[in-house]
Amino acid sequence: MEIVTVDIGGTHARFAIATATGDGRIALSDPETLHTKDHASFRTAWESFRERTGGTLPPRVAMAIAGRVNDDVIRFTNNPWIIRPALLKEKLGVEQYCIVNDFEAVAHTVARVGEDQFIHLTGPDKPLAPTGRLSVIGPGTGLGVAHLYRETDGAYRVSATEGGHIDFAPLDQIDDAILARLRKRHTRVSVERVVAGPAISDIYQTLAAMEGKPVAEEDDVAIWTRGQDGSDSLAAAAVDRFCMSLGSVAGDIALAQGGFGGVVIAGGLGYRIRETLLRSGFAERFKAKGRFRELMASIPVKLITHPQPGLFGAAAAFVREHK
């Protein structure tokens, strides 16, 4: 069975053809990545992908979207597209569809791939628990969060959440300064304002202000680049602060969800900064939960390395829904 599988985030829409076999295996074609800003709607992006693949597509589509999934109107958190599920069959010419939250899709991938698809970050160096609760977290254009429950018979359940929109809790004076800067623009500051790709600009500007260094407002990609290649010590400090905040938030999510069987960091940004995560204050902040420090230290924390967890997971969700 062939399925068009799509992973739509705030910046990119990724398309591929998934082939699902009777024994449950899923294989992906090479993905096509389109910029959401280059297309007026999901339908025009779909048509562009269809043209690139020869003019015809399978009559089945699996979609992972960065936003809440409902049956009426789907609005994305970080891009202006709108999708009306009731019109998909008519507008796209498909017979079956499945729509899941993007991190719900990632959690499906976490549930299905082998241990060789993970890098160890902190905690005991052992596999994710075969049963029980796991938390899946990923910084990108926004901050995705999902919950995975593994049952004793190999089955599993996935829940989409909006955990990226919980309140940001500062832990020191630098966090206080970051919060103060963000409060000038946002009455309520969620963790997504601090632990997502674009947040590096506010972190960098905050550190510069604390040191009395005038710096220009600039693209977050430039700051990430300098922070990673070592050419700018202030940018490097901003990246380390980002990693610390990610550790804090990942620990909070694990506590809230009961993800004591393991925590998985996902998303393209997480993978790109994997070496920095290992050297940063991520691990210490993850454990720094007061009376629960010992519990937090017992949780294996992994980084998923599957190249397309959103596309793979969307296809897995489709297969599960349309058995």
pLDDT tens digits along 274-304: 999 999 999 999 999 999 999 999 999 999 9
Structural domain including 274 reads 116-305
Tally of domains in the chain: 2
- Judge if 17 and 138 occupy the same domain: no
- Judge if 166 and 259 occupy the same domain: yes
**In angstroms, rounded to a whole number, what is the distance separating the alpha carbons of residues 8 and 67?**
9
* Type of residue numbered 134: L
Name the token pair of 270. Answer: 């997480």
- Judge if 131 and 86 occupy the same domain: no
Q: Is 11 annotated as a binding residue?
A: yes
Cβ-based neighbours of 282, under 8 Å, separated by 6 or more: 121, 122, 243, 244, 246, 247, 250
Mean pLDDT rounded to a whole number for the chain: 93
**In angstroms, rounded to a whole number, what is the distance separating the alpha carbons of residues 277 and 279?**
5
Q: Is 202 annotated as a binding residue?
A: no
What CATH number is given to the structural domain containing 68? 3.30.420.40
Percent of the chain with pLDDT over 90: 80
When pLDDT is averaged across residues 2-14 and rounded to a whole number, the result is 91
Res. 67: pLDDT tops 80? no
Q: Quick count: other Cβ atoms within 10 Å of Cβ 34? A: 19
**In angstroms, rounded to a whole number, what is the distance separating the alpha carbons of residues 86 and 310?**
23
- Judge if 102 and 121 occupy the same domain: no
Res. 272: pLDDT tops 80? yes
Res. 38: pLDDT tops 70? yes
pLDDT in tens, 68-112: 787 788 887 667 888 999 899 999 999 999 999 889 999 999 999
**In angstroms, rounded to a whole number, what is the distance separating the alpha carbons of residues 282 and 246?**
7
- Judge if 15 and 147 occupy the same domain: no
* pLDDT at position 9: 83
When pLDDT is averaged across residues 293-318 and rounded to a whole number, the result is 96
At 154, the pLDDT band (50, 70, 90 cuts) reads confident
- Judge if 13 and 79 occupy the same domain: yes
Q: Is 54 annotated as a binding residue?
A: no
Residue 314 contacts residue 6 (beta carbons within 8 Å): yes
pLDDT in tens, 246-269: 999 999 999 999 999 999 999 888
Q: Is 17 annotated as a binding residue?
A: no
- pTM score, whole prediction: 0.90
Helix (H, G, I), strand (E, B) or coil at 113: coil
* pLDDT at position 54: 87
- Judge if 152 and 166 occupy the same domain: yes
When pLDDT is averaged across residues 174-203 and rounded to a whole number, the result is 96
Q: Is 10 annotated as a binding residue?
A: yes
- Judge if 71 and 200 occupy the same domain: no
Residue 65 contacts residue 285 (beta carbons within 8 Å): no
Q: Is 7 annotated as a binding residue?
A: yes
- Judge if 53 and 71 occupy the same domain: yes
**In angstroms, rounded to a whole number, what is the distance separating the alpha carbons of residues 252 and 97?**
34
Res. 141: pLDDT tops 90? no
Report the Cα 45 to chain-centroid distance in Å: 21
